[in-house]
Homo-oligomer: A and B are copies of this chain.
Amino acid sequence: MVTPTVTIGKEQHIWAYDADMQPVVTVDPGTVIEIQTWDCFTGQVQSESDTVANLDIHRVNSATGPIAVRGAEPGDSLSVTLIDIRPEEKGAAMCIPEWGQLIHKVHSPVTRIFKVKDGIVHMNENVSWPQRPMFGVIGVAPASGSIPTFEANRHGGNLDNNMNGIGATVHLPVFQPGGQLAIGDMHASMGDGEISGTGVEIGGTAIIQVNLIKGKSGGWPITETADSWITHGTSPDNIDVALQNACEEAAKLLVDEWGFTIEDAFIFLSVAGDLGIAQYCHPSPGSVIAKMRVPKTKATPRPFKL
């Protein structure tokens, strides 16, 4: 295990990705950092009587940072490797009125408290399963304006992709000098789609390493795992647009980086790529996030040709 040389506490956080936000620390590429993150409710949910009804919604989805990386310039990728993600022992999930595919069938609001111990998530005495810790929110300063951490867009933000877990590297497109990375919204477990709008929301710590890829970036963040790279596509509210964006992004990389014809890219994605859903709690006011998983092959070994 690489030893972190910088530590950032959860009290150093943002509620929005601002184009002009200032870093709490500036590090060199290659730096290993320990970050601490709040659960998305910022500690407001401690028992099953703490529902969304008595939540201060202005204190939701903090992201620890910003972290500037020396030398990061617009057009680069700020590549964040999630070396380890360590949830605390208590998490929470919710049914939130008017949110999600099954909301019309349930009484709401409802909160469930989860115990996370020795790598196992316990929902109740009968229901438990192995944790798959991940970050819902990971992003950088956007090209302009201020984007709440609740939303996802080209800068990242609330991507809610459960592939952003241990071992993954997230290549974030840099829009501002230093990049200005901020990370939060840890889940001990979150399903594709996150249909109630919550995973097992939990605080914790993580070990990350930041690197730069000079002069290459995607239109959205791109996640890289041992066997795949995964493009994202977002939309404020339209799943077709999000899916389309994820497809077009993957095809663009196959053509621009790996020499596919666009016809071959289309066919390759149809026969070997997996189009999926990161976040689609519907209905809800949240962003829609789609993903296209491209398998690593000899012809597609990484998102970017270096």
A277 to B298, CA, bound (A): 26
Query: Do A199 and B270 touch across chains, with their CB atoms under 8 A apart?
Result: yes
Query: Do B110 and A295 touch across chains, with their CB atoms under 8 A apart?
Result: no
> By DSSP majority rule, is chain A's interface helix, strand, loop, or mixed?
mixed
The stretch that binds B, out of A33-41, A78-86, A166-174, A261-269, is A261-269
Tell me whether A191 is interfacial, beta carbon within 8 Å: yes
Query: Do A193 and B271 touch across chains, with their CB atoms under 8 A apart?
Result: no
Query: Do B239 and A196 touch across chains, with their CB atoms under 8 A apart?
Result: no
Tell me whether A244 is interfacial, beta carbon within 8 Å: yes
The stretch that binds B, out of A13-21, A65-73, A120-128, is A120-128
Q: A192-B274, A243-B280 are in contact. Are A251 and B128 (CB under 8 A)?
A: no
Contacts of A266 in B (CB 8 A): 95, 100, 102-103, 105-106, 195-196
Tell me whether A218 is interfacial, beta carbon within 8 Å: no
- Chain A window 280-294, contacts with chain B (Cβ cutoff 8 Å), 1 for yes, 0 for no: 111000000000010
A101 to B249, CA, bound (A): 12
Tell me the minimal C-beta distance from A148 to chain B in angstroms. Answer: 21
Contacts of A94 in B (CB 8 A): 267
Contacts of A203 in B (CB 8 A): none
Query: Do B102 and A262 touch across chains, with their CB atoms under 8 A apart?
Result: yes
Contacts of A158 in B (CB 8 A): none
Query: Do A275 and B267 touch across chains, with their CB atoms under 8 A apart?
Result: no
A193 to B246, CA, bound (A): 12
Tell me whether A248 is interfacial, beta carbon within 8 Å: yes
A94 to B124, CA, bound (A): 49
Tell me the minimal C-beta distance from A9 to chain B in angstroms. Answer: 27
Tell me the minimal C-beta distance from A234 to chain B in angstroms. Answer: 15
- Chain A window 223-267, contacts with chain B (Cβ cutoff 8 Å), 1 for yes, 0 for no: 000000000000000011001100110010000000110111111
Query: Do B270 and A194 touch across chains, with their CB atoms under 8 A apart?
Result: yes
Q: A101-B243, A244-B101, A277-B275 are in contact. Are A270 and B127 (CB under 8 A)?
A: no
A64 to B94, CA, bound (A): 46
A and B contact pairs by CB, cutoff 8 A, 26 listed: A93-B267, A93-B271, A101-B275, A102-B266, A103-B266, A105-B266, A108-B263, A112-B267, A126-B259, A126-B298, A127-B298, A127-B299, A129-B295, A129-B297, A189-B272, A191-B269, A191-B272, A191-B274, A191-B275, A195-B275, A196-B271, A198-B267, A198-B270, A198-B271, A243-B282, A270-B281
The 7 closest A-B pairs by CB, nearest first: A193-B275, A196-B270, A192-B274, A101-B247, A127-B299, A102-B266, A191-B273
Known: A123-B271, A193-B273, A195-B266. 9 other contacts (CB 8 A): A93-B270, A101-B247, A101-B275, A106-B266, A192-B275, A193-B243, A193-B276, A276-B276, A276-B277
